[in-house]
């Protein structure tokens, strides 16, 4: 008799809640927990669907933080306003013009005391038997000092989580990197920033003053032993075991992607009729082709990946060099082993000089400019999740969606080159 029955969806696959087979990692979970008390900003980074949000949910008490999901349409003022709204402020546009040239906003906080309908804000004007009536705050949404004052006025004491930080326009990311220094020096407030990239010092590149003021946590790395523990934990919960051959093939072909492992195990269980904890122990996947399952998982996103290639290749506008289209050439022409580790800027330039119509006329500036703008292009084209990222510290172009990497390895890449109008590789 099993002790507890759980559903397949609670264990394997992609779920809104923390999966029951969550596996702690020393490189991520232990590092995050050990550094929570240091009063520094934290940056959780890694590829898409590698467990960044699950890491936050597992290690942090929900009562200790608020969450803001970033938008690709926000400026710094709108990001600051989102923080204030999440802390309980009601915001309205004021008629006063701030020194930044934008209109100030009026911020007031509704009392949560039962039976009272008072408003709480910065300056107390009068008191009566039913509550406190106050004047709303007037603040400049671009001024980090005003935001700090507003949070101080309500004795705010939680961490502030910024999910999907990479979706913000690049200029907003840079502006907020400047604001982070002020939050660190002039307040007690700590931000936990979650973004899709593989560059440890991304925010320090935007603002060198952040060096030493934030800690970066790499949520991208999963070892084979950690992934195997995820599978084994799920087996225990469902009272099953996958065949050794299935597990070996899966771990060898998943490119260290926790998403592929979780989804492949889910689809295998579906095929084998396992929808919840089994009353009697079962061994499954003896006749299941793991390669087909992994292919099915990534092919579900084939339309998205084809769309990414065509939209990215269009660039911001039509240009003579068509550099963004040509940035895809190394990805679609080089051996998948080289694609997996990424391309240094110099390597990209050499490849393009041998294939681009302009040949050796292409210079480092042409390549660098297009690489540095690829994040902005994906934001503008509303490409979600992000597929490519440029590491400005190590000058490397990386694929940050492992599903795309696996999908790419299974495609006729000459067909993909033809799709976006690039010459067939020799």
Q: What is the mean pLDDT of residues 222-226?
A: 96
Q: What is the pLDDT of residue 92?
A: 87
Task: Give the mean pLDDT of 364-389.
Answer: 94
- pLDDT over 90 at 132, yes or no: no
pLDDT band of residue 38 (cuts 50, 70, 90) is confident
- At residue 118, the pLDDT reads 39
pLDDT at 36: 85
Average pLDDT score over the chain: 90
How confident is the model over 160-177, as a mean pLDDT? Answer: 96
How far apart CA 99 and CA 78 sit, in angstroms, is 17
Q: What mean pLDDT is predicted for residues 220-230?
A: 97
Confidence category of residue 1, pLDDT binned at 50, 70, 90:
low
Q: Above pLDDT 70, what percent of the chain? A: 92
Higher confidence at residue 325 or residue 213?
Answer: 325
Q: Which of 121-130, 325-334, 343-352, 402-411 has the lowest mean pLDDT?
A: 121-130
Neighbouring-strand partners of residue 108: 90
Mean pLDDT along residues 55-70 = 95
Q: Comparing 132-141, 206-215, 234-243, 322-331, which segment has the lowest mean pLDDT?
A: 132-141
Q: In the chain, pLDDT over 90 holds for what percent of residues?
A: 83
Report the 10 Å Cβ neighbour count for 311. Answer: 17
Query: Rounded to two decimals, what is the model's pTM?
Result: 0.89
Are residues 265 and 10 in contact, defined by beta-carbon separation less than 8 angstroms? no
For range 36-43, the mean pLDDT: 88
Res 76 pLDDT > 80: yes
CA distance 377 to 363: 21
| pLDDT value of position 16 | 85
pLDDT of residue 97 exceeding 80: no
User: Which residues does 376 contact at the CB level (< 8 Å), separation at least 6?
Assistant: 169, 170
pLDDT at 306 (0 to 100): 96
Residue range 338-361: mean pLDDT, rounded: 95
- CATH homologous superfamily of 26-84+156-221 equals P-loop containing nucleotide triphosphate hydrolases (3.40.50.300)
Q: Look at the block and give the residue holding tokens 């004021």.
A: 94
- Is the predicted pLDDT of residue 257 greater than 60, yes or no? yes
pLDDT, residue 102, reads 72
Rg (CA), the chain: 25
Is the backbone peptide bond immediately before 337 cis, with ω within 30 degrees of 0?
A: no
Across 187-210, average pLDDT: 94
pLDDT of residue 277: 97
More confident residue, 127 or 33: 33
Asked if pLDDT for residue 319 goes beyond 70, the answer is yes
Torsion of CA 174, 176, 177, 183, to 10 degrees: 170
Residues 344-370, mean pLDDT to the nearest whole number = 94
Higher-pLDDT residue of 207 and 104 is 207
More confident residue, 249 or 3: 249
Does the pLDDT value for residue 133 go beyond 60? no
Residue 18: which pLDDT band, with cuts at 50, 70 and 90?
very high
Domain residue limits, the chain = 8-13+222-299, 26-84+156-221, 88-144, 303-419
Least confident of 134-143, 192-201, 230-239: 134-143
Tell whether the model's pLDDT for residue 126 goes beyond 70.
Answer: no
* pLDDT surpassing 60 at residue 111: no
Angle, helix 224-238 to helix 244-253, in steps of 10 degrees? 140
Span 256-285, average pLDDT: 96
pLDDT band at 259 (very low <50, low <70, confident <90, very high): very high
Sign of dihedral through CA atoms 384, 260, 215, 150? positive
């Amino acid at each position: 008799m099993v002790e507890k029955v759980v559903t397949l969806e609670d264990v394997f696959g992609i779920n809104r809640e923390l999966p029951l087979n969550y596996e702690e990692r020393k490189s991520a979970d232990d590092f995050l927990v050990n550094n929570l008390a240091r009063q520094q900003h934290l940056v959780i980074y890694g590829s898409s669907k590698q467990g960044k949000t699950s890491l936050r949910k597992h290690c942090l008490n929900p009562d200790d933080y608020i969450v803001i999901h970033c938008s690709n349409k926000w400026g710094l003022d709108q990001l600051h306003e989102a923080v204030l709204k999440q802390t309980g402020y009601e915001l309205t546009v004021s008629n006063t013009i701030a020194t930044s040239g934008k209109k100030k906003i009026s911020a007031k906080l509704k009392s949560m005391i039962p039976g009272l309908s008072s408003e709480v804000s910065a300056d107390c004007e009068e008191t009566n038997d039913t509550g406190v009536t106050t004047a709303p705050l007037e603040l400049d949404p671009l001024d980090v000092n005003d935001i700090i004052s507003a949070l101080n006025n309500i004795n705010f004491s939680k961490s502030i989580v910024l999910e999907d930080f990479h979706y913000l326009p690049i200029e907003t990311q840079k502006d907020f990197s400047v604001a982070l220094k002020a939050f660190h020096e002039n307040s007690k407030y700590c931000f936990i920033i979650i973004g899709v990239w593989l560059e440890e010092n991304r925010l320090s590149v935007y603002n060198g003053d952040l060096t030493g003021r934030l800690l970066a946590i790499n949520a991208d790395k999963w070892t084979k032993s950690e992934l195997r523990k995820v599978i084994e934990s799920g087996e225990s919960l469902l009272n099953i075991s996958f065949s050794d051959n299935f597990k070996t093939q899966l771990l060898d072909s998943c490119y260290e992607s926790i998403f592929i492992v979780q989804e492949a195990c889910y689809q295998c269980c579906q095929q084998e009729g396992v929808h919840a904890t089994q009353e009697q122990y079962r061994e499954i996947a003896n006749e299941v082709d793991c390669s087909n399952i992994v292919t099915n998982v990534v092919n579900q996103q084939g339309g998205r990946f084809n769309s990414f290639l065509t939209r990215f290749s269009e660039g911001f506008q039509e240009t003579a060099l068509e550099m963004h289209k040509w940035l895809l050439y190394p990805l679609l022409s080089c051996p998948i082993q080289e694609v997996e580790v990424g391309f240094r800027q110099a390597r990209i330039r050499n490849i393009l000089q041998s294939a681009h119509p302009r040949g050796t006329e292409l210079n480092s500036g042409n390549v660098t400019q297009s690489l540095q703008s690829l994040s902005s292009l994906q934001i503008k084209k509303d490409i979600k999740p992000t597929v490519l990222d440029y590491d400005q510290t190590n000058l490397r172009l990386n694929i940050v969606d492992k599903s795309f990497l696996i999908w790419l390895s299974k495609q006729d890449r000459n067909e993909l080159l033809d799709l976006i109008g690039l010459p067939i590789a020799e």
